[in-house]
């Protein structure tokens, strides 16, 4: 019986979450979906895959019912910078898609994971050691959908008893899939450019500090939260989680420890710089640590070493 459905399976998180879920539940138990057709070599193609537009509520509900889905990981979203370019599309995908998932899950009593983001905070939120419970007035459309999404998820948990949980992902760094349309994407692009060109031009300024996390930590946090004892959870949507924070200059210096000739340049994109400066610099993740035992495994040095090693290995295979 198919148990798990993932939306947005071709995205940066989905590309690693689907294989992790298949290792945990078994390949045939995890249905990967995305609005796009799947490229043959994509990691989410190692098992069941169907095209799904999560803004189509009937199609989504039919898929959940047909496969008797018991857990939904709803990753489909338009990220921060792309949402500023097309706020109407981002609202439809991020809010109508979420509403459809919560309504369908309510009707079949499925458990749901919905990622939030540090983007759920705004410029008048305390930006250092940002509390779990604090003011949330983001000034980006993406951030508005993240705050609204958190509130809608907590409403479904309270009003309908839906077991929906979420994490406020920091900037995520991974080597499996490129991110798309995000403000933290520089921290992924820099590695590919370091290996190909030994230089990178950052669209964020050198001292722009943001919370970041290596994808293996984010995937483990996601699975650990979803398996946590619900009786211990005083929060649900969504938990602050923190691994490390860095600036583009600090990340470049860490790369230079491995590639001394690496050169970093800057051409600041005003839109993404303004978005980044509205976000926290570091987070208080004590609630996640106390309520379900969150602990990061990768710091800036560990992430950098592993990213460079894994990308170099992949480059050798592609030769």
| Catalytic residue set | 142
Kindly state whether residue 248 participates in binding ligand VAH, applying the rule CB under 6 A: no
Question: What's the distance, CA 27 to chain centroid?
Answer: 22
Contact with ligand VAH (CB under 6 A): which of 80, 111, 145, 208? Answer: 80
Least Cβ distance, residue 203 to ligand VAH (angstroms): 11
Exposed, middle or buried by CB within 10 Å (0-12, 13-18, 19+), for 231? exposed
CB of 210 to ligand VAH, least distance (A): 7
Which C-beta is closer to ligand VAH: that of 48 or that of 280?
Answer: 280
Q: By CB under 6 A, which span of 87-95, 178-186, 237-245, 299-307 interacts with ligand VAH?
A: 178-186
**Do 17 and 215 form a contact (C-beta atoms < 8 A)?**
no
Considering Cα of 194, then 197, then 203, then 204, what sign does the dihedral take?
Answer: positive
Work out the burial of residue 270: count CB atoms within 10 Å of its CB; fewer than 13 is exposed, 13-18 middle, 19 or more buried.
exposed
Name the residue nearer to ligand VAH (CB basis): 6 or 64: 6
* 179, 248, 280, 296: which one binds ligand VAH (CB under 6 A): 179
Contact between 145 and ligand VAH per CB under 6 A: no
Calculate helix-pair angle for 248-258, 300-318, nearest 10 degrees: 60
Interface with ligand VAH, residue 182, by CB under 6 A: yes
Q: Could you tell me which stretch among 61-69, 112-120, 150-158, 282-290 binds ligand VAH (CB under 6 A)?
A: 112-120
Total residues at interface with ligand VAH (CB under 6 A): 14
Using CB under 6 A as the binding rule, the residues of this chain from 7 to 46 that contact ligand VAH are none
CB 200 within 8 A of CB 252: yes
Rule CB under 6 A: say whether 171 interacts with ligand VAH: yes
Least distance from C-beta 80 to ligand VAH, angstroms? 3
Interface residues toward ligand VAH, by CB under 6 A: 79-80, 117-119, 142, 169-172, 179, 182-184
């Amino acid at each position: 019986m198919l148990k798990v459905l993932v939306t947005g399976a071709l995205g940066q998180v989905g590309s690693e979450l689907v294989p992790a879920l298949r290792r945990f539940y078994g390949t045939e138990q995890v249905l990967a979906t995305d609005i796009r057709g799947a490229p043959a070599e994509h990691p989410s193609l190692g098992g069941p895959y169907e095209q799904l537009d999560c803004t189509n509520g009937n199609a989504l509900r039919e898929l959940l019912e047909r496969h008797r889905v018991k857990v939904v990981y709803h990753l489909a979203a338009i990220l921060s910078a792309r949402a500023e370019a097309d706020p109407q599309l981002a609202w439809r995908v991020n809010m109508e898609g979420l509403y459809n998932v919560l309504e369908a899950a309510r009707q079949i009593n499925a458990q749901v994971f919905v990622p939030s983001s540090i983007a759920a905070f705004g410029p008048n939120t305390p930006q250092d050691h940002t509390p779990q419970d604090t003011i949330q007035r983001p000034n980006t459309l993406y951030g508005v959908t993240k705050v609204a999404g958190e509130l809608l998820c907590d409403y479904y948990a309270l009003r309908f008893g839906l077991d929906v949980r979420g994490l406020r992902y920091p900037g995520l760094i991974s080597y499996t899939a490129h991110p798309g349309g995000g403000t933290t994407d520089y921290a992924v692009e820099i590695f590919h450019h370091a290996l190909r060109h030994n230089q990178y031009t950052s669209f964020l300024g050198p001292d722009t500090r943001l919370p970041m996390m290596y994808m293996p930590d984010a995937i483990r946090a996601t699975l650990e939260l979803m398996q946590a004892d619900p009786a211990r959870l005083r929060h649900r949507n969504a938990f602050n989680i923190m691994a490390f924070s860095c600036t583009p200059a600090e990340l470049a210096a860490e790369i230079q420890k491995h590639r001394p000739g690496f050169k970093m340049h800057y051409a600041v994109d005003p839109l993404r710089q303004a978005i980044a400066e509205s976000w926290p610099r570091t987070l208080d993740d004590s609630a996640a640590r106390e309520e379900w035992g969150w602990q990061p495994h990768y710091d800036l040095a560990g992430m950098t070493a592993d990213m460079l090693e894994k990308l170099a290995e992949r480059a050798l295979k592609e030769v």
